[in-house]
């Protein structure tokens, strides 16, 4: 019954997104036992999107079947992506699946797809290298593997694997700088991982595509609108997690119209696809917070990986807006010592959670918030649902009517600091 219910929600969500020209699909589910966070790009190439969808559905359904039983304690599924679009002709997507539950080391798997839109077909590694230079290219790879994994390698197996690269090999991605290949470790290396990664600089290999026109976008300096904070009036903070998405724009329209601000806890793996929304968030005086790179369950990661999740997002946001986030909201609201010491960001959760991610009406979301509204409180919302947009539209006028100023978390911090001195 429950499974059916979740799948129905999922399919409604997916259908909804296609209509709205979604750029990244995000599914975040938090059930009593399991946690799921899935992100994948929409390329608008039918065949490619179909392949991606099939892969994701297969992993999702298997995970539901296998892991959400009482045998596994708090299983987690995370699917993340990289997407590179070469002059709108060649598209390359990699999907990285990560499954984790407390008793075993995490399982990681990678699936890559490269598609040539002009030729209307999938591309393999051998399509990207000049024919007469294939052998020297393989030589480069052999050298790279031997230098990096000298002591642990099975040499016979290495030749087999190199040979396979000429046969419809697709587990690779590239951008203007690098070619990354994911090779199976099976019988080749002693490793607890399923695959290992070989990275080559594009300029060092006989790559068939013209050396790219790398456009360095100039860093735009964004000057936010100034708002006046009145220390005498009650205040409250709206925060939005898991974006940006196609709904972010609509929420920004409402905030702009109402002349109020909020804080957006963004995911680093999505901001590139929504650069304009991110810039607009800042321009309108909103604050951007860090909600990890790809919504892995932070409190279960080793400290080094937590740091990586935080720092990658910090740099992405800085690249687009020129500003580093000051606040971190850990995924699934769970905090531990490793998270506390992984960065010097201020960690912040929330006071009011109307559970807008669970299916319910906008009116219901608003009612739950108003019931608990009080000066100084932080409200948790998610800018990836239509019902949240509708709720925000109803909520803001109501909060204003009750005399609240809607502040960002930094402004709220300042006002609280002032209060201490009074
Ligand atoms: Zn979240």
pLDDT in tens, 191-242: 777 888 999 998 888 877 754 444 445 566 677 777 778 888 999 999 999 9
Calculate how far, in angstroms, residue 225's C-alpha sits from the geometric centre of ligand 1. Answer: 27
Residue pair 283/290 in contact (Cβ under 8 Å)? The answer is: no
pTM of this structure = 0.80
Q: What local confidence, expressed as pLDDT, does residue 80 receive? A: 96
Query: What is the Cα–Cα distance from 37 to 55, expressed in whole angstroms?
Result: 15
Question: How far does the centroid of ligand 1 lie from the alpha carbon of residue 109, in Å?
Answer: 23
Catalytic residue among 277, 382, 383, 385: 382
For the residues 162-168, what does the mean pLDDT come to?
90
What's the angle, vertex CA 140, arms to CA 138 and CA 146, rounded to 5? 100
Report the pLDDT value the prediction gives residue 232, as an integer from 0 to 100: 86
Distance (Å) from CA 242 to ligand 1 centroid: 5
Cα–Cα distance, 300 to 102 (Å, whole number): 9
Q: Categorize the per-residue pLDDT at 409 as very low, low, confident or very high, splitting at 50, 70 and 90.
A: very high
d(Cα 354, Cα 365) in Å, to the nearest integer?
Answer: 5
CA of 179 to the centre of ligand 1 (A): 31
| Residues in contact with 74: Cβ distance below 8 Å, sequence separation at least 6, in sequence order | 33, 34, 35, 101, 102
Check whether 2 has a pLDDT greater than 80: no
Q: Is pLDDT larger for residue 6 or for residue 282?
A: 282
Cα–Cα nearest to 332, from 98, 108, 32, 73? 32
Q: Which residue has the higher pLDDT, 224 or 357?
A: 357
- Pick the catalytic residue from 241, 277, 356, 383: 241
Q: How far, in Å, are 69, 171, 189, 231, 351 from residue 376 at the CA level?
A: 41, 50, 55, 12, 9
Residue 255 Cα to ligand 1 midpoint, Å, equals: 21
For CA atoms 404, 405, 406, 411, give the dihedral sign. Answer: negative
192 is catalytic: no
pLDDT score of 153: 81
The whole-angstrom separation of Cα 48 and Cα 123 is: 11
Average pLDDT, the chain: 88
384 Cα: distance to centroid of ligand 1 (angstroms): 10
Residues lying with their CB under 5 A of ligand 1, a single-atom ion: 241-242
Residue 190: predicted pLDDT: 73
CB atoms within 10 A of CB 341: 11
Per-residue pLDDT for 95 more than 80? yes
What percent of the chain clears pLDDT 70, i.e. is strictly above it?
Answer: 91
Active site residue 39: no
What is the 291 CA–ligand 1 centroid distance (Å)? 7
Name the burial class of residue 160, with classes exposed (0-12), middle (13-18) and buried (19+) by CB atoms within 10 angstroms of its CB.
exposed
Q: Which residue carries 């694997």 as its tokens?
A: 161
CA dist., res. 180 & res. 320, Å (int): 25
Task: Please report, for residues 284, 289, 362, 393, the alpha-carbon distance to residue 258 in angstroms, rounded to integers and kept in the order given.
Answer: 11, 21, 18, 9
Q: What are phi and psi of 381, to 5 degrees?
A: -135, 175
Dist. CA 332 → ligand 1 center (Å): 6
For tokens 């990664």, name the residue.
Answer: 197
- pLDDT in the model for residue 219: 60
Helix, coil or strand: residue 91: strand
Query: Residue 148 C-alpha to ligand 1 middle, in angstroms?
Result: 37
Distance (Å) from CA 241 to ligand 1 centroid:
5
φ, ψ at 34 (rounded to 5°): -110, 160
Per DSSP, 316 falls in state H
On whether the CB atoms of residues 412 and 237 are closer than 8 A, the answer is: yes
Distance CA 145, CA 109 (A): 20
Q: What is d(CA 175, CA 192) in angstroms, rounded to the nearest whole number?
A: 28
User: Is a pLDDT exceeding 90 seen at residue 124?
Assistant: yes
**For residue 351, what are the CA distances in angstroms to 50, 238, 261, 288, 380?**
41, 11, 18, 19, 8
Q: What is the whole-number distance in angstroms between the Cα of residue 266 and the centre of ligand 1?
A: 9
Residue 79 above 70 pLDDT?
Answer: yes
């Amino acid at each position: 019954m429950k499974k059916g219910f979740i799948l129905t929600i999922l399919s409604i969500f997916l259908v909804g997104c296609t209509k709205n020209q979604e750029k990244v699909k995000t599914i975040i589910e938090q059930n009593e036992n399991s946690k799921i966070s899935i992100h994948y790009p929409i390329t608008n190439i039918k065949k490619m999107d179909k392949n991606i969808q099939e892969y994701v559905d297969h992993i999702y359904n298997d995970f539901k079947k296998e892991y959400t039983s009482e045998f596994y304690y708090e299983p987690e599924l995370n699917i993340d992506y990289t997407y590179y679009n070469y002059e709108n002709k060649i598209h390359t997507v990699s999907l990285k699946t990560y499954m984790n539950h407390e008793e075993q080391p995490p399982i990681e798997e990678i699936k890559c797809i490269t598609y040539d839109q002009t030729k209307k077909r999938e591309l393999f590694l051998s399509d990207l290298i000049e024919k007469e230079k294939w052998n020297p290219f393989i030589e480069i790879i052999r050298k790279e593997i031997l230098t990096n994994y000298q002591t642990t390698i099975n040499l016979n197996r290495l030749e087999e694997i190199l040979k396979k690269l000429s046969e419809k090999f697709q587990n690779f991605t590239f951008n203007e700088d690098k070619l990354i290949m994911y090779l199976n470790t099976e019988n080749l290396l002693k490793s607890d991982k399923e695959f290992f990664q070989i990275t080559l600089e594009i300029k060092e290999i006989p790559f068939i595509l013209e050396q790219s026109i790398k456009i360095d976008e100039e860093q735009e300096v964004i000057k936010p609108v100034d708002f006046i904070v009145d220390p005498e009036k009650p205040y409250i903070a709206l925060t939005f997690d898991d974006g940006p998405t196609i709904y972010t724009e609509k929420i920004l329209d409402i905030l702009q119209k109402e002349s109020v601000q909020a804080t957006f806890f963004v995911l680093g793996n999505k901001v590139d696809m929504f650069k304009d929304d991110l810039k607009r968030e800042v321009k309108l005086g909103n604050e951007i917070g860090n909600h990890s790179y790809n919504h892995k369950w932070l409190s279960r990661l080793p400290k080094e990986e937590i740091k990586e999740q935080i720092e990658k997002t910090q740099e992405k946001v800085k690249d687009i807006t020129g500003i580093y986030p000051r606040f971190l909201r850990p995924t699934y609201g769970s905090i531990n010592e490793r998270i506390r010491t992984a960065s010097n960001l201020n960690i912040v959760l929330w006071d009011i959670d109307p559970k807008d991610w669970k299916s319910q009406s906008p009116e219901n979301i608003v009612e739950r918030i108003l019931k608990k509204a009080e000066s100084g409180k932080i409200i948790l919302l998610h800018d990836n649902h239509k019902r949240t947009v509708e709720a925000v539209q109803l909520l803001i006028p109501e909060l204003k009517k009750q005399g609240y100023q809607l502040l960002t978390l930094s402004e709220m911090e300042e006002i609280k600091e002032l209060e201490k001195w009074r």
